[in-house]
């Protein structure tokens, strides 16, 4: 059954209830800064904030992967959520209107990474450029491109001309992620360090020459590579990556924030330090059951940058989904999901250097599995587009309290 005009009007009316405390972008009117007609960052009395284009304090409360189609289930050959939305709304535009109304009703103000383009004219959004991914990085396999190569620099410039230049004056754009969860070190995808992977590049490749230069400096042969060699090369490669990305973005768009590269739950010190001077915010993905305060403290102290959690979530057994693949510990019930959300985001809002969070994700994954097999209960809504009410009602209650908490007015 399609959503009626009256039902949509009711949702939109409910969503405007927040207007007294927030500007049209979702900026909190309890604290004002200089208006720059674009998103910016500011620090006041030791507390960091994003700032809306109208100059109001903006604590980013976002959701990732807000999509009309949802995940394709390869085993089915179609996207189950997409079939529901097509029948229910009839068009991407009507779905987007209804979805933004729901998000605002639940206290959210940002469309996180990988969200539908229809969201971009309706609420603040982020853009994930996937610069390294477009140049050969593979998220699942952990492969990385040659950051020292002319090919990488040209690919970055070309991509940013196409993706950033048209957005340079868009007030809704919060900022750019350069990539997602790059394999900076040996992890679940590859047991080899970045130095070893670069030493395996073809002879004469720019990245291999850079790696060999590190060994020449230490006097070590390939089989003698040690931790100091690996850290020195990691710092060198990360600096090249961040510098190239920054230059490519700024050449195409000098106006918007650079949000970092979304670290994959770990962030090696040499890479974190290399970010300084090349990004406005440090983005970190984390699926622990509590606010990772000690880790975030370390990242902020190392860089001086404001920090944003750009993926976190909880999934529950009572959803009926397999929950066998994908990050995060499985909890028992939807109440546990709601409790986890409240505990986690209140912990973030209490950190003076944290400027927001993005929940993963809008819709549950298909029980048959998406492209990488994930089949978990991450959604605010089910595959049938019905909300997980215990979770979304808690979000509706908690989200409007976070701005004052972050400002220190309710600690």
The answer to whether 78 and 343 have CB atoms below 8 angstroms apart is no
Report the pLDDT averaged over residues 234-253: 98
The length of the chain in residues reads 411
Q: C-alpha 395: how far from its chain's center?
A: 19
Cα dist. 314→227, 267, 369 in Å? 35, 22, 17
Residue 220 resides in a domain = no
Residue 204 resides in a domain = no
Instruction: Look up the pTM and report it.
Output: 0.93
Question: Which helix (H) or strand (E) element contains residue 102?
Answer: helix 92-105
Residue 326 resides in a domain = yes
Inform me whether the pLDDT recorded for 392 exceeds 80: yes
pLDDT band per the 50, 70, 90 thresholds, residue 186: confident
Sheet hosting strand 40-44, strand order edge to edge = 28-32, 56-58, 47-51, 40-44
**Token pair belonging to 199:** 């030493």
Among 200, 205, 278, smallest CA distance to 238 is for 278
Tracing tokens 């978990």 back to the chain, one arrives at 376
Residue 162 to residue 190: CA distance in whole angstroms: 32
Residue 196 resides in a domain = no
- How much is the pLDDT for 19? 60
Q: How many domains does the chain have?
A: 1
Owning domain of residue 341: 5-183+252-406
Plot region of 347 (φ>0 → left; ψ -120 to 50 → alpha; else → beta):
alpha
- How much is the pLDDT for 384? 98
- For residue 3, the 8-state DSSP code is P
Phi first, then psi, for residue 244 (nearest 5°) are: -60, -45
- How much is the pLDDT for 10? 46
- CATH of residue 52's domain is 3.20.20.80
Q: What is the pLDDT of residues 313-333, one digit of tens each?
A: 999 999 999 999 999 999 999
Residue 231 resides in a domain = no
Report the pLDDT averaged over residues 81-104: 98
- How much is the pLDDT for 190? 84
- Sorted by sequence, the CB contacts under 8 Å of residue 1 that are 6+ apart come out as 87, 88
Residue 175 resides in a domain = yes
Share of the chain above pLDDT 70, in %: 95
Residue 347 to residue 213: CA distance in whole angstroms: 44
Phi first, then psi, for residue 79 (nearest 5°) are: -100, 110
Residue 334 to residue 395: CA distance in whole angstroms: 12
pLDDT band per the 50, 70, 90 thresholds, residue 142: confident
- Mean per-residue pLDDT of the chain: 94
Q: Is 226 exposed, middle or buried (0-12, 13-18, 19+ CB in 10 A)?
A: exposed
- How much is the pLDDT for 5? 52
Residue 221 resides in a domain = no
The answer to whether 46 and 34 have CB atoms below 8 angstroms apart is no
Beta strand 60-63 pairing with 40-44: unpaired
CA angle 102, 358, 398 (to 5 degrees): 60
- Considering Cα of 367, then 372, then 378, then 380, what sign does the dihedral take? negative
**What's the N-to-C CA distance of the chain in angstroms?**
46
Cα dist. 275→77, 137, 243, 283, 330 in Å? 41, 19, 8, 11, 33
Report the pLDDT averaged over residues 224-253: 97
Tracing tokens 């962030």 back to the chain, one arrives at 267
Tracing tokens 């291999």 back to the chain, one arrives at 208
Residue 198 resides in a domain = no
The answer to whether 259 and 281 have CB atoms below 8 angstroms apart is yes
Question: Which helix (H) or strand (E) element contains residue 230?
Answer: helix 227-252
């Amino acid at each position: 059954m399609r959503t009626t005009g009256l039902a949509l009007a009711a949702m939109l009316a409910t969503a405007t209830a927040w207007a007294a405390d927030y500007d049209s972008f979702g900026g909190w009117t309890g604290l004002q800064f200089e208006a720059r007609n674009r998103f910016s960052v500011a620090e006041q009395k030791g507390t960091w904030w994003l700032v809306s284009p109208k100059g109001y304090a903006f604590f980013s409360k976002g959701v990732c992967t807000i999509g009309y189609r949802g995940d394709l289930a390869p085993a089915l050959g179609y996207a189950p959520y997409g079939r529901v939305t097509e029948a229910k709304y009839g068009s991407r535009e009507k779905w987007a209107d209804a979805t933004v109304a729901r998000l605002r009703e639940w206290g959210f103000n940002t469309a996180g990474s990988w969200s539908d383009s229809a969201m971009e004219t309706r609420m603040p959004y982020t853009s994930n450029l996937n610069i390294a991914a477009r140049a050969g990085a593979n998220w699942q396999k952990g492969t990385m491109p040659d950051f020292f190569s002319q090919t990488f620099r040209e690919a970055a410039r070309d991509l940013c001309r196409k993706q950033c230049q048209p957005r340079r004056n868009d007030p809704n754009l919060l900022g750019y992620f350069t990539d997602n969860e790059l394999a900076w070190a040996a992890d679940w995808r590859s047991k080899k360090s970045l130095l070893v992977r670069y030493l395996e590049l073809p002879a004469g490749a720019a990245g291999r020459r850079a790696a060999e230069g590190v060994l020449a400096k230490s006097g070590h042969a390939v089989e003698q590579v040690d931790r100091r060699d690996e850290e020195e090369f990691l710092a060198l490669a990360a600096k090249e990556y961040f510098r190239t990305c920054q230059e490519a973005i700024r050449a195409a768009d000098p106006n918007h924030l650079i949000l970092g590269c979304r670290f994959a739950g770990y962030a090696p010190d040499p890479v974190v330090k290399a970010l300084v001077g090349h990004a406005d915010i440090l983005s970190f993905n984390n699926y622990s059951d509590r606010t990772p305060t000690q880790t975030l403290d370390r990242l902020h102290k190392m860089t001086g940058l404001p920090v944003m959690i750009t993926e976190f979530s909880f999934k529950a057994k009572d959803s009926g989904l397999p929950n066998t693949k994908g990050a995060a510990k499985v909890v028992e019930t939807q109440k546990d999901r709601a409790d986890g959300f409240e505990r986690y985001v209140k912990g973030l809002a209490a950190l003076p250097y944290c400027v927001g969070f993005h929940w993963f994700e809008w819709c549950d994954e298909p029980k048959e599995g998406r492209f990488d097999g994930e089949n978990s209960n991450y959604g605010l809504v089910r595959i049938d587009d019905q909300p997980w009410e215990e979770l979304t009602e808690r979000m509706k209650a908690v989200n409007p309290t976070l701005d004052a908490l972050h400002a220190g007015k309710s600690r």
